Amino acid sequence: MIHIIDGVFANHQLEKFSKTINSSTEPFVSGYASKKGEGFFKNNEDHPNAYMCNTMKNYANKFFELQNTKGYEYWTHVNTKPNDTHQDKDEVAYLTKGISRFPQCSTVFYLEVENLKGGELVFTNGITVKPKVNRLVLFSPGLEHFVEEFTGHRVSIAVNPWSTKLYS
């Protein structure tokens, strides 16, 4: 299941988020090699982008069963190079124990999109989503996806709610 919601935040909120995210373009693996200010947070844990994350989770709760959420992982992708097909999962559990554990759902929010050619979010079930500023994409756990090659500027934010804590 894939849901697309446009116009999630007001323009002044988007401007604030652009200033408070970690805009590093260094590669990372969530939980394994996290970026400063990102990673796993408990539901009520405060951080500079908690409002943004909680709003995304509230939208996800309209389509997915999130009552047992213990926390969420949050990270940004700034002009991330397109990658191979993957699933959003507990990377530490997968890399250290070979266990595939999935969030309750996955989200991708497009904060910035400028002069973009390509860069679509492609699901292996044939659905393609074009990046657009202030667009939130919600999808079922375990759905395989990848980002197409692109030129231009693209900032996406992921918030994935979990019913358990991630491996550390």
pLDDT for res 91 = 84
For residue range 77-123, what is the model confidence (pLDDT) as tens digits? 999 877 789 999 988 888 889 989 999 999 999 999 999 999 999 99
- DSSP per-residue string spanning 98-114: ------S-EEEEEEEEE
pLDDT for res 154 = 95
- HSE on the CB side for 86, CA within 13 Å? 14
The confidence band for 166, taking pLDDT boundaries of 50, 70 and 90, is confident
pLDDT for res 160 = 96
pLDDT for res 27 = 64
For residue range 12-49, what is the model confidence (pLDDT) as tens digits? 999 999 999 888 777 666 665 667 778 889 998 999 99
pLDDT for res 55 = 97
How many angstroms separate the Cα of 6 from the Cα of each of 29, 38, 92, 108, 130?
28, 24, 32, 12, 12
pLDDT for res 32 = 57
Average pLDDT over residues 62-81: 92
The CB density around residue 126, as the number of other CB atoms within 10 Å, is 6
- Which positions ≥6 away from 61 have C-beta within 8 Å? none
For residue range 122-158, what is the model confidence (pLDDT) as tens digits? 999 999 999 999 999 999 999 999 999 999 999 999 9
